[in-house]
Structure 1
């Protein structure tokens, strides 16, 4: 039996700093039951409140970090940020403080589940339905944080806990807002060394480059998590070398089919992934909730066999013309169906029997109306042929009125009268204002394809050499080459503003400069994060 209180005076038993906390009472209220995890900053324990009997996950900062301002600030941020977010898919924060013995702790909601990382490792890939369900729940949690001006900045499978609901459905909980930051902050960096902290494999390009961040960096990270759930892999190799780092910043991510070529993925799903993983934030979803909705919609177009299978699945094209029944995608937010657009059963109409006289009477009335209307139209056309013709003829012409051809004598007399009619025909007035001289625009300069190739060849050479030097880590040399290309393309872009090849090459040069700067910053930060002493000086 655990002894929680002193037998002499009834005070809670406290564990000395640095010792195992299991069995002790932390902060006079948390009975530590067992250790459930450990990280770089400390241990995580399962504890129970001695009076409320509520289980909590209690993080305790390493003793070696209690005097580190950065570590303490991170604990403070997690307590402050996560406690503001009241959402069923965010692990709640209960308590934060420091014990008289100098232990800094953080008590949060205990999620009786496992990290998403372990689930992916165990299954290799999740079903499409389960992926969409978890993805939408995480998107909903991030939307709640973004609405409060908080970005997570370290979203990854390790920070997504999966528990089971009462009906056995997945319940996702986003945890570890330790490096979360308010979006209005001027600088996204947290550590005193200036590192762009986070997990490189799940960082956005702008986070790798140490640029200013907003909520769209979380959308990129969630896109990577979703890709990992669908395929069991990431669209990029791990960022452990300069080549992999440059690839993350300059190349497009691999598609779902490139990772799992045994599956015919729907184009709608690939479009969702492409937008979430766009290199530039402006090209991504602007709201994470939109990504969640479109992910669920794209997955819902897949057949039942693909929704519930993780093996090799041949996905047949979805027939939108066929009438389908909406399928719930699992538990959580995605499993709740939107019934606002479902078809409602129509009441059966009572049809008159064939023996009823009502149908016969209606038929006779309709026939009388048709015959009477036709007779009236014929009589009216015989009585007023000239009037009808004159109202349809243009007023400025002298064409004789039209008369029925059967009355030849009348037709001749009308034609003769029209020939002797001396009524002058009205003519439009002539504007006496002199016309303004036409403005002749100068012709735009033209260039043949051969001349264009000759002009752009040295610029492309500078661009290619600059990229090669960037891949080799010679960031200063790359800047020189990119600068030369930029100086050469500028005058051409002004002179031949309508030439698409010149505009495209100018855009490539600008992107290469940005990528070179981001690659240098990212390599420097990764080197410092791994304890390196030599880091490149970025131009």
Structure 2
């Protein structure tokens, strides 16, 4: 190395932050000092920070420098601050300080939250138990009631905008009032929209919000119905990766009752479906009214949840589990998501046509159940028919168009007991057969996987042409 050559060295924190368009640690923001990057979203960047004197932790949201010269964006950012400061509620993030960096880049300081979003919780647990749903909905609806009382509509109530703080007692916060709307805005005010477009998330938007018509607090009630469905079932009520089709479904198509997808009290169907009525006058008039209905459905005197177990009956299940190779949820690009959706749609439609009750449908699995006859010969024929159905599903999946090599599907068959609630329509409420994690294989399998209980008494020539991968003895 000559004297003129510079010694190789790692990039400093300042250089790394600058290369990403972020503010470096140590940057002052009012009475707070930035400590590091947390997240980027919309037009703002959120940083961890600490008060210079007290050491109190905080989070600082700064309007991105790239858009800080846009009057419209600055006005929207300012209105977000105004909305948050106008609502004082324990389930809405608290604002500590407001200011500007370099006399043009606005920021606000808020309480720093530790924990995870509701979106992350649902992805980790697939779907939530009704009482867990009720416990999470209580603080979310309390926050929305405070907002609505202050004349503010949130307009983007979704799982990623709900934060579950770690610690005891658990605290839940409603986040991101960035597109919130005053119920009675000043005449001629256009700070919320760009020409011909309503802000929001299409997968949760009420019809009147999609169409850009007059809105009120009932758009948040509609979004809560979508949220309820996702928490209880594990997936959105309308599953498509085509945005135009998503919009059409919200405008025209009635969602399926959640209890047709997973075992749930039928009273919950009424609550979810009323939230998602196309005509807003048919929805709950307030989130308080919705919460009263939820409490009754899940634990009140009119609930159909019984103190004793429902009677059991033998049944056979065909179970489809989507497995992603070489990555996880964070690597879900459009092609991968589209193929997973295609797999779920094929499995759901074929099992329903074969007479299976869809006991569970989530973002990565479909579980179809069919009750077994009590006669021994008929019971054996029913299990053989279930194996044939599984083979047909497997073949249909193998032939699907534009299959993504990163997607593998385990197709499994098992026979066991289920709990069945006496009703006009078959209602499966529990049982060992629904616990697929206890009997389905933990690794990828080729062909159709069948447990000994599914193939008991069947001869090799009676099994379907697709190879049956039996469980190890």
Structure 1 length-normalised TM: 0.51
For the residue of structure 2 that corresponds to 1:126, the secondary structure is coil
Q: Give the corresponding residue for 2:181.
A: 181
> 1:21/1:81 Cα in 2 relative to 1: closer, same or farther (>3 Å)?
same
For residues 4-43 of structure 1, the aligned pairs below 5 Å read: 20-43=22-45
Question: Is 1:243 aligned to residue 245 of structure 2?
Answer: yes
Question: Is 1:171 aligned to residue 171 of structure 2?
Answer: yes
Please point out which of 114, 117, 124 is paired with 1:115.
Answer: 117
Q: Give the corresponding residue for 2:451.
A: none
CA distance in 2, matches of 1:174, 1:305: 36
Q: Give the corresponding residue for 1:149.
A: 151
- The alpha-carbon deviation at position 189 of structure 1 amounts to 7.2
Q: Deviations over 1:81-124 (max 9, x none)?
A: 11111111111122222122633212112121111111111111
Please point out which of 126, 130, 149 is paired with 1:124.
Answer: 126
For residues 292-331 of structure 1, the aligned pairs below 5 Å read: 292-300=291-299, 301=303, 302=305, 314=419, 316=421
- The alpha-carbon deviation at position 127 of structure 1 amounts to 1.4
Q: Give the corresponding residue for 1:139.
A: 141
Q: Give the corresponding residue for 2:272.
A: 273
CA distance in 1, matches of 2:307, 2:47: 41
Pairwise CA RMSD of aligned residues? 2.8
Q: Deviations over 1:277-328 (max 9, x none)?
A: 111110001011111222122111335899xxx999847579xxxxxxxxxx
For residues 495-534 of structure 1, the aligned pairs below 5 Å read: none
Higher strand proportion: 2
Q: Give the corresponding residue for 1:206.
A: 208
CA distance in 2, matches of 1:99, 1:304: 60
For the residue of structure 1 that corresponds to 2:107, the secondary structure is strand
CA distance in 1, matches of 2:110, 2:194: 27
For the residue of structure 1 that corresponds to 2:59, the secondary structure is strand
- The alpha-carbon deviation at position 239 of structure 1 amounts to 6.4
Counterpart contact for 2:18–2:24, Cα < 8 Å: no
CA distance in 1, matches of 2:182, 2:42: 23
Counterpart contact for 2:259–2:266, Cα < 8 Å: no
CA distance in 1, matches of 2:164, 2:175: 11
For the residue of structure 1 that corresponds to 2:33, the secondary structure is strand
Q: Give the corresponding residue for 2:400.
A: none
For the residue of structure 1 that corresponds to 2:146, the secondary structure is helix
Higher helix proportion: 1
Structure 2 length-normalised TM: 0.58
> 1:67/1:189 Cα in 2 relative to 1: closer, same or farther (>3 Å)?
closer
CA distance in 1, matches of 2:257, 2:40: 35
- The alpha-carbon deviation at position 147 of structure 1 amounts to 0.5
Please point out which of 69, 75, 81 is paired with 1:79.
Answer: 81
Q: Deviations over 1:235-286 (max 9, x none)?
A: 11246343332221011112103333xx2x2221111111111111100010
Counterpart contact for 1:134–1:171, Cα < 8 Å: no
Q: Give the corresponding residue for 2:391.
A: none
Aligned length: 297
For the residue of structure 1 that corresponds to 2:164, the secondary structure is strand
CA distance in 1, matches of 2:128, 2:163: 15
For the residue of structure 2 that corresponds to 1:31, the secondary structure is strand
For the residue of structure 1 that corresponds to 2:173, the secondary structure is strand
Q: Give the corresponding residue for 1:351.
A: none
CA distance in 2, matches of 1:305, 1:53: 54
- The alpha-carbon deviation at position 165 of structure 1 amounts to 4.4
The answer for unaligned runs of 5 or more in structure 2 is 1-13, 310-359, 368-417, 424-473
Higher relative contact order (CA 8 A, sep 6+): 1
Q: Deviations over 1:429-461 (max 9, x none)?
A: xxxxxxxxxxxxxxxxxxxxxxxxxxxxxxxxx
